[in-house]
Structure 1
């Protein structure tokens, strides 16, 4: 019984630590900023890697202020013409897009 308890505690700690690590690995650290209707700025903090984010309205001039590459798509659901956007780079303010994916 004395050996069993430390092993359970160690396994629980390892599981918790791996969950934290995996949670950090699934998000692009930083912000993604874009211009919406009437030139208003919008942003997403720590966007998820690998998931398609579809814009709910007109979007242009994306700024990838994350440390992860992004791809802007002309169509909804990450379809259409793809435009890569490197970490820290801005698309021209005239460049429109309908969805984005990180990672």
Structure 2
């Protein structure tokens, strides 16, 4: 019984470490930056891949400083004609968007 407990603790620790590294794989590494109201800059660090991020207010001039392609959408909830934004690419300052998805 004394050997069983350390083995269970070690396996649980291994499972936790694996979960952390897998979770990090589903994030776009880097920053996504955009301009909000009054030209104020906003950013998201390591945004999640595959999820639609809807902007809560006016957004324009997106810069994709992640290592993952992003897709900008004119409508909320990733609706409308998609506009791709490659890693390191910046949209024009005047280009508005309402939502974005990575990956």
Same-fold call, TM cutoff 0.5: yes
Q: Deviations over 1:26-62 (max 9, x none)?
A: 2111111001112111111111111111111111110
Q: Which structure has more strand as a fraction of its residues?
A: 1
CA positional deviation for 1:92? 1.2
1:46 aligns with 2:46: yes
- Unaligned residue ranges in structure 2 (runs of 5+): none
- Unaligned residue ranges in structure 1 (runs of 5+): none
Instruction: Please report the RMSD computed on the Cα atoms of aligned residues, expressed in angstroms.
Output: 1.3
TM-score norm. by structure 1 comes to 0.90
Query: Superposed, which structure 2 residues align to 1:1-103 within 5 Å?
Result: 1-103=1-103
Give the Cα separation in 2 of the matches to 1:55 and 1:81: 16
Provide the aligned length of Structure 1 versus Structure 2: 103
Give the Cα separation in 1 of the matches to 2:7 and 2:83: 50
CA positional deviation for 1:13? 2.2
CA positional deviation for 1:93? 1.1
